[in-house]
Amino acid sequence: MKSIILSTVVLLGLGTLLLADAASYGKQDPPVVGEGQSCGGFTQHPSTCAPGLHCQLDPSVPDRPGVCVKDEPVVSGEGGRCGGFMPNPPRCGRGLTCKLDPHIPDASGVCVAAKPPIAKEGEPCGGFTQNPSVCEAGLRCRHNPDVTDLPGECVRVY
């Protein structure tokens, strides 16, 4: 009787191993390829593009494999879409900033004219930064003449 139970346990164990192996048979991760290589398409185990690349397919024959090309940033003008939780989100052009909805931070925003922050006396101003602050009326931005890329300081005009 013990040998029958032992045989049954061994057979059940082997059966479980065979089923687990059969479930994973034929499954494999798609190969990741680089720029200029074939990707996607209606094939078994289509390759995917490496990070920083996307698969450009022929819109007239979408089943045919495409080619991996570099992600080019999309630059939006005023009123255009920007940001958002997605690969390679559009960004705003020069002089614009992306205004996001504070209630839905993952959603895209809208490009609006960037208004420079106003600095008070003694606060930093200017410099080689994005959207540098400007001095309020009656003040001017005094920079170090040796390092003009650094922010200056708002000082009173006499």
pLDDT over threshold 60, residue 30: yes
Q: What is the pLDDT of residue 27?
A: 63
Helices (H), the chain: 2-24
Q: What's the pLDDT tens digit per position in 77-127?
A: 999 999 888 777 889 998 888 988 888 878 889 999 888 889 999 999 998
Q: What's the pLDDT tens digit per position in 127-148?
A: 887 778 899 999 999 999 898 7
Q: For the chain, give every domain's residue range.
A: 29-72, 75-113, 118-156
Cα(157)–Cα(154) distance, integer angstroms:
9
Q: What are phi and psi of 112, to 5 degrees?
A: -130, 160
Mean pLDDT confidence for 44-58: 88
Q: What is the pLDDT of residue 3?
A: 59
- Which DSSP category does 84 fall into? -
Q: Which of 31, 33, 74, 77 is nearest to 55 (CA)?
A: 33
**CATH fold for the domain made of 29-72:** Omega-AgatoxinV (4.10.40)
Please report, for residues 63, 132, 148, 151, the alpha-carbon distance to residue 144 in angstroms, rounded to integers and kept in the order given.
61, 16, 6, 9
- Which DSSP category does 43 fall into? S
Give residue for tokens 């999309």.
Answer: 74
Q: Is 33 left (phi over 0), alpha (psi -120 to 50) or beta?
A: beta
pLDDT mean across residues, the chain: 82
Amino acid at 134: V
Structure tokens at 77: 């003008």
